[in-house]
Amino acid sequence: MSKPVFEIVTYSVKDPAEAQKVRSGLKSVLSAFPGFVSWRQFASATSDRRFVDQVEWVSLVSAQSAQEKFMADPAAQALMAQTEEVHAMTHVVEQV
């Protein structure tokens, strides 16, 4: 059995208020993909333009498949239009 995979994306946006509006509607898009477990949204404590998203998937395969489909979704395109820079994107597993 595979371990859950966490997708972590850190990015800066052009307009924080507009990006947050777009971002708030993304959970319904993400949760429709097979293997979705949860999504947590974070904002930088030092910059109102930097966000971090943590999405949990049942497997790396699920995460990668969803990533391809997500990028083609109009809601994702709206967020990408607000994105100034992606600082990091990675898939990790919890170590215990």
- Helix 74-82 vs helix 16-24: crossing angle, to nearest 10: 160
Residue 72 exposed, middle or buried by CB count within 10 Å (0-12, 13-18, 19+): exposed
pLDDT at 1: 64
Q: Please, what are the averages of pLDDT over each run of 10 residues along the chain (96 residues)?
A: 91 95 90 96 96 97 92 88 96 92
The full set of domains in the chain, from first to last, is 5-92 (3.30.70.100)
